[in-house]
Homo-oligomer: A and B are copies of this chain.
Amino acid sequence: MSQADKSRPATDKRERILDGALKAFARKGFYNTKVSEIASEAGVADGTIYLYFKSKDDLLISLFEDRMEWVIDRLNTELSTVAGVEERLRRAVELHFQLAIEEPDLAEFITVELRQSSKFMKEYKNPKFLDYLKLLESLVEDGQEQGAFRLDVEPRLLGRVIFGALDEVLLLLTFSRSPNRDVVEMTRQVTNIFIDGLRAR
C-alpha cells in the first residue's frame, strides 16, 4: 500500500478512487486509462480498486452517479431560490454551462468519456440521468401548468431536446478558449430560443 493509503481513513478511499478516476479519464480517456493509473492517482494499491468496484465500467458508472447526484443537488438548491418558470429555465441552462468553468474535468467526463463505455450506453438503466431529465421536464410542465408555456409539446420530449442542446453546447464550452465570456453569451442565446419557442401564444 502507498503512503497515502495508510495516512487517511478507509472511508475516504471510495471517494479518492472516484476523484482519481475523473482526473485520469480526463487526461487519457476512458479506454486508454489503466486501473493501475487510477490507483496511482488515488494513492491506493491496484487491488484496492476491486474491493470497491467490479470493473472499470462499474467505476465509470459509479463516478457518473456520484457526480450527477451533486449536479442535481446543486440545481435543486439553486432553483429553490428562484421564482418564475422563465428565470428557472435560465438558471438551469447557466448552471449546466458553468460546469465547463467550475468542473472542467467533470464537463469533459460527461460530454466525452462517458459515451465511450458500451455498458453505460447500452446496458445501464441510468437512474441519475433520468432524474436530471425529469428536472428539465418539470420546468416545462410547471410552465404549462402556470399558463406560461404552450400545451402542444410533451414535457418528456422537451426535456430531451433541452438536454441535447445543453450537452452539445457544453462540449463546445469544454474545448473553448474563453469559457467565462462564452458561458454568459451562450446562456442568453440558448435561453431566449427555448423560452420564446415554449411561450404560450
Contact = CB atoms under 8 A, between A and B. Distances in A.
A169 interface: yes
Interface stretch (A34-42, A44-52, A191-199): A191-199
B169 A186 contact: no
A189 B118 contact: no
Given A164-B164, A165-B164, A168-B164, A193 B112 contact: no
Given A163-B168, A164-B168, A167-B164, A189 B157 contact: yes
Interface in A99-126: 112, 115-118, 121-122
Contact of A193 (B30, B31, B189, B194): B194
A151 B152 CA distance: 26
Given A116-B115, A168-B163, A186-B157, A194 B192 contact: no
A195 B150 CA distance: 14
B189 A153 contact: yes
Contacts of A158: 189, 193
Nearest to A133: B168
A168 B167 contact: yes
A47 to B, nearest CB: 25
Q: Residue among A112, A157, A169, A195 with the most chain B CB within 10 A?
A: A157
A129 to B, nearest CB: 11
